[in-house]
Amino acid sequence: MSRASRRFHRTLFLAIAAMGALVWVVVDQFEISRQELAVLATGAFMVVGAIIVCGAILAGVWVALKKFSDD
């Protein structure tokens, strides 16, 4: 395994562990219920999905405009 690959895997593991610790702190320290956390996570995924869809639409419009302007 190359050095860059090891560094990538270590960074990925640390990021996942940090997110797990963040969820644990929210549930344990701030007494956020699991249901409320699920609602917040669902909202976050929906916002991220909407941003991805908007970006894809804008990229498609940009490509279409570029094709039409080249003719």
How confident is the model over 23-50, as pLDDT tens digits? 888 888 888 888 998 999 999 999 999 9
pLDDT at 69: 87
Q: What is the pTM of this model?
A: 0.61
pLDDT classification of 71: cutoffs 50, 70, 90: low
Give the CA angle between residues 49, 57, 62 to the nearest 5°: 145
**What is the mean predicted confidence (pLDDT) over 59-68?**
94
DSSP H stretches of helix in 1-71:
3-29, 34-70
